[in-house]
């Protein structure tokens, strides 16, 4: 399959430089990738989809997908990005030709850019909820009130489309401002202390949930698999989430990989990111489900889950108002570092292809996302009725489902096929720096066989072609 067309490979590789500068260090890269991976996916989405899909078995499928499918693809994206050193579209075109295949692989890059726009359109609206909750909790409105009041406050929040629109707009403005200035400046530093702070706050919350008296029930809920509760649809959601939470399948990591210094180990970096991301998601689950059970709430209540459960915990603990405010601030920052990763591939592509300034590219891309986001804003109020739904789901649910569970896995599948089959072994082993030892062999077979087949089976099962 592989036909490497350049004889003097080493000369070409060392000449190729990123057009946007490099990360200042390996740590900076790890932080940036972790910042993109850890976000609303871990704290907002993981608990609610786990609740909707019955707990334990779902978590198990998710974990298997993260390590057997997500990790090798994460490595592939980094290595492809670093080898191409361009935006994902150009990188795919370049590598496709260079490895003796086709330059049409660039369409895979574009597919990812579309997915990024779709994901960010709803991501920004939810991040807006977190921002709104900074002020709701900061004002003390949620202190010392019952779980019912907290839940009705959230209902009222969703009904107020003007407020959702305001915060969505605000969040996109901040995102545009930061990416317009260039990613490295400021952001690297912010991530450096915000991520650890978020982690510590989750540990504080964990202490609370351990004292609810229902901690072990929460643990059981998360880790005791009951496969009867798992439908083909749950499989596809668990797999889609593995892609979503690691930010893979759309070229975002490829774009970041383009700025990675040549001597950094890709394997170690990828493993570190996957562990950090998984740890944070599981922690969020361990915090939330004991609270759900202790207060007789409904774990399957959907996207509002953390906004209806965590305030209950905060309202009952000492310094609750302070912690709640801090928590939603940190959550907003976690969302911001992910939003930047979601839009960066599009920006790099626009700048390199159309020679626009970074500011102009950021403005135009953000306006597109903002308009698309209106669909999500109205999904919770004006358009929540059945007459505005498709396939029995709101606009928000459809965008999320299609982008996260279909576009990301398919994108990831082709990335994996590209890295495993199309690229020459000399190229991939050169980038990974494993030589040909067991780590390289594992990566090759996970990329060639396991990851593509896993995506294929789940898709076929979902569309009823095969029965699991
Ligand atoms: N991983 C992010 C989260 O869990 C969301 C996300 C999906 C993302 N794809 C991405 C972030 C691409 C950055 C780049 O919240």
Quote the pTM value: 0.93
Please check whether residue 468 lies inside any domain of the structure. no
pLDDT score at 229: 84
Distance (angstroms) between ligand 1 centre and the Cα of 54 equals 24
Domain of residue 266, CATH code: 1.20.1740.10
pLDDT score at 107: 97
Distance (angstroms) between ligand 1 centre and the Cα of 342 equals 6
pLDDT score at 187: 63
Nearest CA to ligand 1 atom 8: 247
pLDDT score at 8: 47
Domain that holds residue 95: 2-462
Residues 91 and 258: beta-carbon distance below 8 Å: yes
User: Structural domain tally of the chain?
Assistant: 1
Give the DSSP letter string of 32-90.
HHHHHHSSHIIIIIHHHHHHHTTSHHHHHHHHHHIIIIIHHHHHHHHHHHHHH-S-HHH
Please check whether residue 189 lies inside any domain of the structure. yes
- Count CB neighbours of 51 within 10 A: 23
Residue range 218-259, pLDDT digits in tens: 999 999 998 888 888 899 999 999 999 999 999 999 999 998
Please check whether residue 11 lies inside any domain of the structure. yes
Q: Which residues of the chain are modeled with pLDDT < 50?
A: 7-8, 10-11, 14
Nearest CA to ligand 1 atom 12: 247
pLDDT score at 212: 87
**Burial group, residue 104, by CB count within 10 angstroms (0-12, 13-18, 19+):** exposed
Residue range 257-310, pLDDT digits in tens: 998 888 889 999 999 999 999 999 999 999 999 999 998 888 998 999 999 999
Distance (angstroms) between ligand 1 centre and the Cα of 272 equals 16
pLDDT score at 454: 94
pLDDT score at 185: 66
Place of tokens 């202190």: 143
Please check whether residue 467 lies inside any domain of the structure. no
Distance (angstroms) between ligand 1 centre and the Cα of 437 equals 31
Pocket test for ligand 1, best of 125, 244, 344 (most atoms within 8 A of CB): 244
pLDDT score at 386: 86
Please check whether residue 368 lies inside any domain of the structure. yes
Please check whether residue 358 lies inside any domain of the structure. yes
């Amino acid at each position: 399959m592989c036909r490497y067309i350049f004889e003097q490979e080493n000369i070409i590789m060392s000449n190729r430089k990123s057009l946007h500068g490099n990360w200042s260090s390996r740590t900076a890269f790890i932080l940036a990738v972790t910042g993109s991976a850890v976000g609303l996916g871990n704290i907002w989405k993981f608990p609610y989809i786990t609740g909707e899909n019955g707990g334990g078995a779902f978590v198990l499928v998710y974990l298997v997908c993260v390590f057997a499918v997500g990790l090798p693809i994460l490595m592939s994206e980094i290595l492809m990005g670093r080898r191409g050193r361009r935006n994902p579209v150009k990188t795919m075109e370049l590598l496709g030709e260079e490895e003796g295949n086709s330059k049409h692989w660039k369409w895979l890059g574009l597919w990812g850019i579309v997915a990024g726009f779709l994901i960010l359109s709803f991501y920004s609206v939810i991040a807006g909820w977190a921002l709104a909750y900074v002020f709701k909790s900061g004002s003390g409105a949620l202190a010392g009130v019952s779980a019912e009041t907290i839940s009705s406050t959230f209902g009222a929040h969703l009904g107020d489309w003007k407020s959702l629109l305001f915060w969505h707009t605000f969040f996109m403005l901040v995102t545009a401002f930061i990416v317009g200035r260039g990613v490295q400046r400021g952001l690297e530093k912010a991530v450096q202390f915000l991520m650890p702070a978020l982690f510590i706050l989750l540990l504080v919350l964990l202490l609370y949930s351990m004292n609810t008296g229902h901690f072990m029930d929460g643990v059981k809920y998360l880790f005791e698999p009951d496969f009867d509760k798992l439908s083909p649809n749950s499989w596809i959601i668990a797999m889609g989430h593995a892609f979503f939470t690691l930010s893979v399948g759309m070229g975002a990591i490829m774009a970041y990989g383009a700025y990675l210094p040549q001597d950094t180990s890709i394997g170690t970096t990828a493993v570190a990111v996957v562990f950090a991301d998984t740890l944070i998601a599981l922690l969020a689950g361990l915090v939330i489900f004991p609270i759900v059970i202790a207060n007789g709430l409904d774990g399957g209540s959907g996207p509002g889950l953390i906004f209806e459960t965590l305030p209950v915990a905060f309202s009952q603990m000492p310094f609750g108002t302070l912690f709640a405010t801090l928590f939603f601030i940190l959550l907003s920052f976690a969302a911001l570092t992910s939003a930047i990763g979601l839009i960066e591939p599009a920006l790099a592509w626009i700048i390199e292809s159309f020679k626009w300034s970074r500011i102009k590219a950021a403005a135009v891309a953000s306006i597109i996302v903002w308009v698309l986001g209106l669909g999500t804003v109205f999904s919770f109020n004006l358009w929540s009725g059945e007459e505005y739904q498709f396939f029995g789901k709101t606009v928000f649910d459809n965008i999320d489902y299609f982008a996260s569970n279909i576009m990301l896995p398919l994108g990831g599948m082709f990335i994996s096929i590209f890295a495993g089959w199309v690229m020459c072994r000399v190229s991939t082993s050169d980038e990974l720096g494993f030589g040909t030892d067991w780590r390289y062999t594992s990566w090759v077979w996970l990329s060639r066989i396991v990851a593509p087949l896993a995506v294929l089976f789940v898709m076929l099962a979902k569309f009823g072609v095969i029965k699991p």
